[in-house]
Amino acid sequence: ARGVQHTAVRRAHRKYEPNFHDKYGNVVLLGGAAVFTAAWGYVFTQAGIEWGLSPVGRITPKEWRE
């Protein structure tokens, strides 16, 4: 138990050191947002997907057979 107390005291008095997320967290987040926006921007503008979901004008009635 004493070893745990000594370790806790040592860590409490240690100067705070920034970790990876403190240093690069915002940069990584902004980079991911930029890649996400660029990829979906390409999909929406260049991929040739027809976004019209309405069937009006696309469905023609078949000839009626009697």
**27, 28, 33, 35: CA torsion to nearest 10:** 110
pLDDT score for 40: 92
Alpha carbons 31 and 36: distance in angstroms, whole number: 9
Task: List domains and CATH numbers for the chain.
Answer: 1-47 (4.10.51)
Taking the CA atoms of residue 36, residue 48, residue 61 and residue 65 in that order, the dihedral angle to the nearest 10 degrees is -110
Q: Which residue has the tokens 């057979």?
A: 65
| Alpha-carbon gap, residue 17 to 8, rounded angstroms | 16
Q: What is the pLDDT of residues 10-53, one digit of tens each?
A: 666 667 788 888 899 999 999 999 999 999 998 888 877 666 67
pTM: 0.49
What's the pLDDT at 36? 97
- The pLDDT tens digits of the residues spanning 8-17 come to 666 666 677 8
